[in-house]
């Protein structure tokens, strides 16, 4: 009886044991160096500010960053619904919390030329305006799919002539235009625009010609819209190769004419020419200084430094790149 059992059990014990040992060793040893997607080009980390936590100067999954064009201050909003202000050097200055945040937290931030902070209050279907110290100045928007209404507004910016552009997702997936008083003007980039239709326009930024660049996150591309709101062109495809994207969430323009994209899924910041030519990428996945994880945003300082919103690591890295 025992010899019959012996014949039956032998291959079930020895081989699996060897396979398991080998698999565990391979899993633990081999992939360690395989995490990087795309070569990270040289860039120096000048400063890191913020760390995990709920105290002033700390973050809990920050999701949007904006730089004031007036004094260079950096504003960051995180998943505690706090908007924190830092100096251009990353020193904590001030914070305030959104008036309501139980339903969800904001994901869009913009600072205008009057140093006012515009917030896409995503889960409350509205846009809010604060002064730089957090005093509420205005709010507009309501839930719905009609003209001027929002489903989930996720990005906000102002054009050079002062029109408010609000990107939204979750059903509407369009960019609506308002006056600064909140009067609805029109919408662009909705489903009727064919190739120019956006899905989760997560980053909005105007260039010097008043053309609108949009991080079309769910289509894994960057789109350009003319001053008239018409779709011009797009670049980028889904993937992890050079010039490809995996949910690009943040967008910034550099003074030299290049575009920076926070590529959340690929854990990197990519630089492009305006014609869509890939120039370089910075960052590899990780939690050490110089490594990033799930960057939701990117912004450029007055001196040309790059603020990388390193969301999963709850910090901002200021890069000279």
Partner 1 sequence: MKRIIAFQFARVAGWLVLAMSVGLVLVATVIEAAPGPLPDQSVWPTPRLWGYFRTTIAMASTATVLALFIAIPFTAVMAGIRHGRHRRVLTALIIMPLVTMPSIHAYAWMLLATRKDGMAAAILGAIGWNAPGAQWMQAAVVLASWLWPIPALILSAAFRHMGRQGYQLARLDAACLSAFLRGALPLMRAPLIAAVAATFILAATDATIPPLMGATEIWSVEMLAVAAAASSHTRPIGYVFWQAWPMLALIITLALAAIPGIRKIASWGDELEAADTGTLTAAPGRAWYSACVLAGVIAFFPLCVFLTEFGSAREETGRALMTAMTTYRTHGLATLLVAALTGVLALAASLGVIADSDDRPWTRAFGKLAFAAVLITAILPPEIIGTALAATLTRICDPRSWNIYDCTPWAWMSALLSRFGVICLVVARLTNRRVPVSLLNHAQLEGATVPARIALVRLPFIWRPIAMAALLTACLAMSEIGASVLTQPVRFFGGCLAVQVDMQMHYGRQSETTVLAAIMFTPAVVAALVGAAWPRPRTQA
Q: Does the footprint of partner 1 cover residue 12 (CB under 8 A)?
A: yes
Q: By the 8 A CB rule, do 250 and 265 touch?
A: no
Residue among 134, 126, 124, 70 at smallest CA distance from 100: 124
Listed ranges 32-40, 160-168, 203-211, 221-229: which one lies at the site for partner 1 (CB under 8 A): 32-40
Query: In the range 183-222, which residues lie near partner 1 by CB under 8 A?
Result: 199-200, 217-220
Q: Does the footprint of partner 1 cover residue 302 (CB under 8 A)?
A: no
Listed ranges 47-55, 86-94, 126-134, 272-280: which one lies at the site for partner 1 (CB under 8 A): 47-55
**Rg for the chain, CA atoms, rounded:** 23
Residue 302 Cβ vs partner 1, minimum distance, rounded to whole Å: 30
Q: Which of 247, 272, 282, 307 binds partner 1 (CB under 8 A)?
A: 247
Q: Does the footprint of partner 1 cover residue 79 (CB under 8 A)?
A: yes
Distance CA 257, CA 300 (A): 12
Q: Which of 41, 45, 60, 258 binds partner 1 (CB under 8 A)?
A: 60
Residue among 123, 122, 121, 119 at smallest CA distance from 111: 119
Residue among 104, 56, 49, 103 at smallest CA distance from 83: 56
Distance CA 192, CA 195 (A): 9
Measured from the CB atom, the residue of 15 and 227 that comes closer to partner 1 is 15
- CA 54 from centroid of its chain's CA atoms: 21
Bridge partners of 167, per DSSP, are 155, 175
Q: Which residues bind partner 1 (CB under 8 A)?
A: 1-2, 5-6, 8-10, 12-14, 16-17, 19-21, 23-24, 27-29, 31-35, 51-55, 58, 60-61, 79-80, 102-103, 169, 171, 199-200, 217-220, 238-240, 246-247, 265, 267, 284-288, 291, 293, 312
């Amino acid at each position: 009886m025992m010899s019959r059992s012996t014949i039956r059990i032998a291959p079930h014990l020895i081989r699996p044991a060897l396979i398991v040992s080998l698999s565990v060793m391979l899993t633990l040893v081999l992939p360690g160096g395989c995490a990087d997607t795309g070569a990270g080009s040289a860039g120096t980390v000048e400063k890191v500010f913020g760390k995990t936590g709920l105290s002033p100067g700390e973050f809990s999954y920050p999701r949007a960053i904006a730089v004031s064009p007036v004094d260079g201050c950096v504003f960051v909003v995180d998943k505690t619904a706090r908007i924190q202000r830092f100096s251009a050097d990353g020193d904590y200055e001030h914070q305030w919390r959104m008036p309501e945040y139980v339903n969800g937290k904001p994901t869009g931030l913009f600072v205008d030329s009057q140093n006012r902070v515009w917030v896409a209050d995503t889960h409350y279907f509205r846009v809010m305006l604060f002064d730089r110290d957090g005093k509420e100045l205005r709010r507009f928007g309501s839930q719905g799919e009609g003209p001027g209404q929002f489903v989930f507004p996720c990005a906000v910016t102002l054009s050079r002539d002062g029109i408010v552009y609000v990107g939204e997702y979750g059903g509407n997936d369009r960019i609506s235009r308002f006056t600064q008083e909140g009067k609805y003007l029109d919408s662009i980039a909705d489903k009727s625009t064919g190739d120019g239709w956006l899905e989760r326009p997560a980053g909005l930024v105007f260039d010097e010609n008043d053309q609108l660049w949009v991080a079309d996150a769910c289509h894994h591309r960057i789109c350009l819209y003319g001053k008239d709101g018409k779709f011009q062109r797009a670049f980028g495809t889904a993937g992890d190769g050079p010039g490809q994207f995996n949910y690009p969430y943040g967008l910034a323009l550099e003074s030299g004419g290049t575009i920076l994209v926070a590529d959340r899924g690929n854990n990197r910041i990519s630089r492009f020419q305006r014609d869509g030519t890939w120039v370089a990428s910075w960052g590899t996945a990780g939690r050490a200084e110089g490594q990033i994880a799930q960057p939701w945003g990117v912004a450029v300082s007055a001196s040309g430094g790059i603020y990388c919103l390193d969301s999963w690591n709850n910090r901002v890295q200021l890069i000279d790149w």
